[in-house]
Structure 1
Amino acid sequence: MAKKIKDDKGNVYIQKKPFYKRVWFWILAIIVVFVVGGALGGGSKNDSKSNNSTSTSSSSKDKVISKDTELRNKFDAIKVGDLMNSGNGGSTFDEVKASLGSPNSTSTTDLQGVSVKTDTWSKNGVTILIQFENDKVVSKDITGFKFKKRDEKLTLAEFNQIQNGVSYDEMVSKFGEPDSLNEMVISGETTLTAIWLTGIKGGLGANVTLQFTNGQLTSKMQSELE
Structure 2
Amino acid sequence: MNKTSKPFYKKIWFWIITILALFVLIDGAYGAGKSSNDSDNTKTEQKSENKTTEESDDTNDDTNDEEIYTGERGDQISMDNLAILQAYYKIKLGDLMKSGQGGTSYKKVKKIFNSSPSETSSSETSGVKTELAIWRYEDVTITVTFVNNHAVGSAETGLRWKRAKPTFTKKTYNKLSGDLNSEKAYKKFGIPDEVTQMLIFGSYKTKFTWFTGLKGSLGANVSLDFTGESLTGKSQYGLK
TM-score > 0.5 by shorter chain: yes
Match in the other structure for 1:222: 236
Gaps of 5+ in 1: 5-15
| SS of alignment partner, residue 87 of structure 1 | coil
Match in the other structure for 2:74: none
Superposed CA deviations along residues 94-150 of structure 1, whole A, max 9, x for unmatched, are 211012110011111212221111111111142111011222110001111112233
Q: How many residues align?
A: 213
Contact 1:176 1:199 in 2 (8 A): no
C-alpha distance in structure 2 between counterparts of 1:72 and 1:181, whole Å: 10
Identity across aligned pairs (percent)? 31
Of the candidates 17, 22, 30, which is equivalent to residue 18 of structure 2?
30
Q: Which has the larger radius of gyration?
A: 1
C-alpha distance in structure 1 between counterparts of 2:102 and 2:152, whole Å: 9
| SS of alignment partner, residue 34 of structure 2 | helix
Gaps of 5+ in 2: 49-54, 60-76
Aligned ranges 1:203-214 → 2 under 5 Å: 203-214=217-228
**CA-CA distance at 1:59 after TM superposition:** 3.4
Corresponding position: 1:45 with 2:58: no
Letter in 1 for 2:98: N
C-alpha distance in structure 1 between counterparts of 2:182 and 2:141, whole Å: 23
CA RMSD of aligned residues (A): 2.6
Match in the other structure for 2:63: none
C-alpha distance in structure 1 between counterparts of 2:122 and 2:12, whole Å: 16
**CA-CA distance at 1:75 after TM superposition:** 0.6
Superposed CA deviations along residues 23-81 of structure 1, whole A, max 9, x for unmatched, are 12121222122212122222223322356x5x945137944666422111111221111
TM-score for both structures, normalised by structure 2 = 0.79
Indicate how the Cα distance of structure 1 residues 186 and 174 shifts in structure 2: closer, same or farther if over 3 A, else same: same
TM-score for both structures, normalised by structure 1 = 0.84
Of the candidates 105, 124, 127, which is equivalent to residue 92 of structure 1?
105
C-alpha distance in structure 2 between counterparts of 1:43 and 1:150, whole Å: 24
